[in-house]
């Protein structure tokens, strides 16, 4: 592998994270205004992305959709900085709560790409079903995933989801290399890990504590991108604590200049990573979340017959509209709309459906033909339903079964 110095280096500032404490660092930014101020300082120092966790004023960890929204609004009022919200799990959080930062509309959000023992601290579980569910939140809200991969098996998880149609290039991988529970921060190992990335990938390697700066340097010279900040390290050098996130960003910017690596602006980062411009309502991060539309085959025939199968359906749990995104051979996008017994259906997408149903075309046809129980397909992650109660889709299937029996 040769040194890569042509591509602009995207500097990401991880401002607070979940582990640094106020008693360690009294100036740790914690309130929304403090975090927004730190983000703007980093932007002025050369950061194109700021990675955000939220905290209570006393520094304790929390989860608050309102805080993410406040930080978003404060930062966007004064800059074009790209925001990257965490979807990490705090104790007691539901899957739906982990979706909320994505729903706040940042340019990026972290996509935790597999389960692991996070050092000696906790088991960080990210099941395949959860990953498929949250992937659709990224699609719906036009948010690009930053794939947090803690070992090469996590890269394999993402490659499988790419093959299933959940993601489109460019892909952005964050290779987290820590002493415990992950791939260790070794230069030779990093070179091997990079061989596992799919084509059209951008990447950054993350080290913590004393490993932060060496991993920054490797990212710069190998053509990757760089993350710095209090989430990963509170020391500027041995025995000397950093005074701000911006101080650490400025050092990385100087390293880029010394090593002849251009520094990416926020706009250049959006182009490199395929991000939308949140200030432009017409800007999109994705082209479409499903393969080309099938015009024939079992799925197309099913949706053509859906109005007759559902004619007169009035189950109390039926939703008014359903959007289907089916992947694989014979897949595509279809919709079904019910209005007081009148049923219409067709190919393509509709605005504001009540329920999203996502899965493989073959998996969906196995359900509607009675070969697979719906709840089994959902538990296996083969079919995902946005209505967490499952009642709406369950009622739809009951109505379809009644139609087939007529």
Q: What is the pLDDT of residues 2-25, one digit of tens each?
A: 566 789 999 999 999 988 999 999
The answer to whether 97 touches 63, Cβ cutoff 8 Å, is yes
The answer to whether 174 and 110 have CB atoms below 8 angstroms apart is yes
CA distances 38 to 57, 71, 185, 365, Å, are 15, 11, 27, 51
- The mean per-residue pLDDT over the stretch 237-252 comes to 97
Q: What pLDDT score does 404 carry?
A: 58
Query: CA-to-CA distance for 112 and 83, rounded, in angstroms?
Result: 17
b/e burial code for range 272-286 (CB count within 10 A of at least 16 → b): bbbbbbbeeeeeebe
Residues 206, 249, 40: CA angle, nearest 5 degrees: 115
pLDDT in tens, 392-403: 677 777 677 666
Q: What are the two backbone dihedrals, phi and then psi, of residue 38, each rounded to the nearest 5 degrees?
A: -60, -40
290: pLDDT strictly greater than 60: no
Helix H or strand E segment including 70: helix 65-76
The CATH architecture to which 11-273 belongs is Alpha-Beta Barrel (3.20)
Please report which confidence band the pLDDT of residue 355 belongs to, taking 50, 70 and 90 as the band edges.
confident
Q: Supply the pLDDT for residue 3.
A: 62
Where residue 389 falls among pLDDT bands split at 50, 70, 90? low
Distances (CA, A) of 138 to 87, 141, 255, 282: 11, 5, 33, 17
**209-235: average pLDDT:** 96
Contact 232, 252 (CB under 8 A): no
Give the count of alpha carbons within 13 A of 373, CB side only. Answer: 4
Assign 26 a pLDDT band (cuts: 50, 70, 90).
very high
More confident: 108 or 330: 108
pLDDT of residue 199: 94
**CATH match of 298-405 with 3.90.550.10:** no
DSSP-derived secondary structure for 254-307 = HHHHHTT-PBPPHHHHHHHHT---TT-TT--S-S-SSPSPPSSSHHHHHHHHHH
User: What percentage of residues in the chain have a pLDDT greater than 90?
Assistant: 58
- pLDDT for the residue numbered 18: 87
Count the neighbouring beta carbons within 10 Å of the beta carbon of residue 187: 13
Q: Which two tokens stand for residue 116?
A: 């692991």
Q: How far apart are the C-alpha atoms of 228 and 209, rounded to whole Å?
A: 10
pLDDT at res. 119: 67
Q: What are phi and psi of 314, to 5 degrees?
A: -140, 35
- pLDDT averaged over every residue in the chain: 89
CB 386 within 8 A of CB 296: no
8 A C-beta contact, residue 390 and residue 357: no
Least Cα distance to 145 among 171, 114, 177, 116 occurs for 171
Model confidence at 215: pLDDT above 60: yes
**Using omega within 30 degrees of 0 as the cis cutoff, is the peptide bond preceding 170 cis?**
yes
Q: List the one residue out of 147, 161, 140, 249 whose CA is nearest residue 204.
A: 147
Rounded distance between C-alpha atoms, residue 383 and residue 157, angstroms: 17
| Range from 12-16, 146-150, 226-230, 332-336 carrying the lowest mean pLDDT | 332-336
Centroid of chain to Cα 213 = 26
pLDDT of residue 125: 86
Q: What is the pLDDT of residue 367?
A: 87
Stated pTM of the model: 0.78
* Residues counted in the chain: 406
Tens digits of per-residue pLDDT, 109-151?
A: 999 999 888 767 778 888 887 888 888 789 888 999 999 999 8
User: CA dihedral defined by 294, 299, 305, 310, rounded to 10 degrees?
Assistant: -130
Task: Express each pLDDT in 161-200 by its tens digit.
Answer: 887 778 889 999 999 998 677 888 899 999 999 999 999 9
- Same topology for domains 11-273 and 298-405, yes or no? no
Separation between Cα atoms, residue 351 and residue 405, nearest integer Å: 32
Q: Looking at the predicted structure, is the pLDDT value of residue 202 above 70?
A: yes
Question: What is the predicted pLDDT for the residue at 166?
Answer: 80
What is the residue extent of each domain of the chain? 11-273, 298-405
β-pair partners for 147: 111, 173
DSSP string for 194-232: HTTSPSSEEEEEE--GGGHHHHHHHHHHHT-BEEESTTT
Which two three-digit tokens encode residue 312? 């007169």
């Amino acid at each position: 592998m040769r040194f890569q110095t042509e591509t602009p280096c995207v500097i990401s500032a991880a401002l607070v994270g979940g582990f640094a404490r106020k008693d360690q660092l009294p100036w740790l930014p914690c309130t929304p205004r403090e975090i927004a101020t730190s983000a703007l300082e980093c932007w002025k120092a050369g950061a194109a992305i700021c990675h955000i966790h939220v905290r209570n004023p006393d520094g304790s960890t929390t989860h608050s959709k309102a805080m993410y929204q406040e930080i978003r609004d404060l930062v966007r009022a004064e800059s074009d900085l790209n925001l990257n919200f965490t979807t990490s799990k705090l104790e007691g959080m539901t899957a739906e709560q982990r979706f909320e930062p994505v729903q706040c509309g940042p340019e990026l959000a972290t996509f935790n790409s597999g389960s692991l023992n996070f050092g000696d601290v906790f088991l960080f579980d990210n099941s395949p079903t959860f990953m498929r569910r949250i992937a659709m939140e990224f699609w719906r809200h036009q948010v690009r995933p930053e794939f947090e991969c803690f070992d090469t098996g996590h890269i394999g998880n993402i490659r499988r989801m790419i093959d299933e149609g959940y993601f489109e290039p460019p892909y952005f991988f964050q290779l987290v290399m820590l002493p415990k529970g992950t791939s260790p921060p070794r230069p030779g190992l990093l070179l091997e890990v990079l061989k596992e990335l799919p084509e059209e990938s951008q990447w950054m390697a993350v080290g913590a504590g004393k490993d932060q700066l060496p991993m920054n340097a490797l990212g710069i010279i190998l053509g990757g991108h760089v993350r710095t900040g209090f989430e990963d390290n509170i020391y500027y050098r041995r025995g000397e604590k950093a005074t701000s996130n911006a101080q650490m960003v400025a050092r990385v910017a100087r390293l880029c200049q010394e090593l002849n690596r251009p520094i990416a602006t926020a706009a250049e980062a959006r182009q490199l990573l395929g991000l939308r411009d949140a200030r432009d309502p017409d800007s999109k991060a994705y082209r479409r979340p499903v393969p080309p539309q099938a015009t024939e085959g079992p799925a197309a025939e099913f949706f053509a017959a859906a109005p007759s199968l559902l004619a007169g359906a009035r189950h109390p749990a039926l939703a008014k509209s359903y959007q289907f995104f089916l992947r694989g051979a014979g897949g595509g996008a279809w919709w079904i709309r019910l209005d007081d017994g009148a049923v219409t259906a067709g190919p393509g997408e509709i605005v504001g459906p009540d329920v999203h149903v996502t899965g493989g075309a073959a998996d969906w046809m196995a359900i509607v033909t009675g070969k697979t129980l719906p709840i089994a397909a959902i538990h296996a992650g083969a079919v995902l339903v946005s209505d967490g109660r499952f009642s709406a889709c369950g009622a739809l299937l009951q109505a379809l079964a009644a139609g087939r029996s007529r």
